[in-house]
Every structure is written in structure tokens, then in C-alpha cells.
Amino acid sequence: MISERLMDILIDSFWNILLPGLTMTIPLTFISFAIAMVIAVAVALVQFAGIKVLKEIARFYVWVIRGTPLLVQLFVVFYGLPNIGILIDPFPAAVIVFSINEGAYSAETIRAALEAVPKGQMEAGECVGMTYLQIIRRIVLPQALRIAFPPLSNSLIAMVKDTSLAANITVTEMFMATQRIVARTYEPLALYIEVGLIYLLFCTVLARLQRIGEKRMGVYGR
């Protein structure tokens, strides 16, 4: 049974957890993901074009970022860069790291989607006199993004949960807000379950939007 004291704590803490979620977690997620998509498309197109030097640089970037923990990357940017005179506030530091990290993963998703577009589409564009850039922009990339939409949507949902790591560099998002309440009330089990349910709520809404987006785009032919 939940005691009256615990119930009061949960009720009082709900808004104190939800508010940082709406004002910090969600903006951090969407700003980082938007920048990551720009990075991902650029890196994927460089690899798809096969320009040797740029392709190797893109591969090196993907290799390093995917091969190192996100938490380590956060610590390097926020705690490490000040040693060489580069000071970055917590929120911008989190945006930079999440964008770069997600950009590497999404670049591989988009690259695979680009390669999944039939080569005949490129040949058809050339036959009607389109330039390479026109073919990519008008024919290949739209089809590739349609293919990549489901995995990219999953990455967005995963990023909502990954933002909890930003608490380690003092970003006051939902998880840090919960930690502060736990330190004051000594009710870790109930409060961590509560914040978990709020994360679940956010992810459920995004999953629903993902399904709507898939149907409108005709993903999987439905």
C-alpha cells in the first residue's frame, strides 16, 4: 500500500518532473535530432557519392563516434575541453554531443537507404538530362528518406531516453530533477518509477506519431 506521505510526494513531484521534461528534455531532443539529420544526410551523401578523400573522412567520423560511449563524449566536451580553453554551457554542450553522436548513427541508416534505391532511378534521371545533384535531390533522396523513416523515428524515440545522460553534465532535465527530489525525500523507488512512466508517456506519443507518419508516407505499402 502507498502511504499518504508517499502519495503526496508523488503528486507534488509530478509537475516538478514533467516541467523540465517539457522545457528541457523535449527541446534538447528535437534540436539535437534536427541538427543530427543535417549531419547524417551530408555524411551519407558523401559516402554515396564515393569521393575518396571525403568518404574516408566520413567513415572515420562514423567509426570514432559509434565506437565510443555517448557518456564519454559528453564528458570530453563538457569537462575536457575547458582544459584547452574551450568553455561550453551545459545545454549547448549536450546539443553538440547528441547531434554529433546521432548524426553518425543516422548517417549509416540514410546511406543504407540511399543504396536501397534502385540504380535504374539514377539512369532514368540521366536519360532526361538531369544533373547528378538534381537526381539526388529530386529522385534518390526522397525515396531514401521514405525508406529510412521508420529506423530514424526509432532513433528519435531512443534519443528521448538518452537525454537522461545529460544530467551528468548538469543539464537540468527530467532525470536530474528527479534525482534532486529523491535526495530531499529519500523515496528513490517510487520517484524513479514515476520518471520512468513520464519517459514512457513521451515515447508512446512519439511512437503513435511514427505510425501516423508511416501510414501517410505509405511505408511498407500500407
Q: How confident is the model at residue 63 (pLDDT cuts 50, 70, 90)?
A: very high
Three-class HEC string of the chain: CCCHHHHHHHHHHHHHHHHHHHHHHHHHHHHHHHHHHHHHHHHHHHHHHCCHHHHHHHHHHHHHHHHCCHHHHHHHHHHHHHHHCCCCCHHHHHHHHHHHHHHHHHHHHHHHHHHHCCHHHHHHHHHCCCCHHHHHHHHHHHHHHHHHHHHHHHHHHHHHHHHHHHHHHCCCCHHHHHHHHHHHHCCHHHHHHHHHHHHHHHHHHHHHHHHHHHHHHCHHHC
What per-residue confidence (pLDDT) applies to 1?
61
Q: Quick one: which of 135, 111, 117, 107 has its CA closest to 40?
A: 107
pLDDT at 222: 42
Amino acid 220: pLDDT: 56
More confident residue, 28 or 127: 28
Structural domains in the chain, sorted by start: 4-221 (1.10.3720.10)
What pLDDT, on the 0 to 100 scale, is given for residue 131?
A: 86
Assess whether pLDDT exceeds 60 at residue 190. Answer: yes
Per-residue pLDDT reduced to its tens digit, 17-61: 999 999 999 999 999 999 999 999 999 999 998 888 999 999 999
- Give the pLDDT confidence score for residue 124 in this predicted structure: 85
> pLDDT class for 120, splitting at 50, 70, 90?
confident
- Whole-model pTM? 0.92
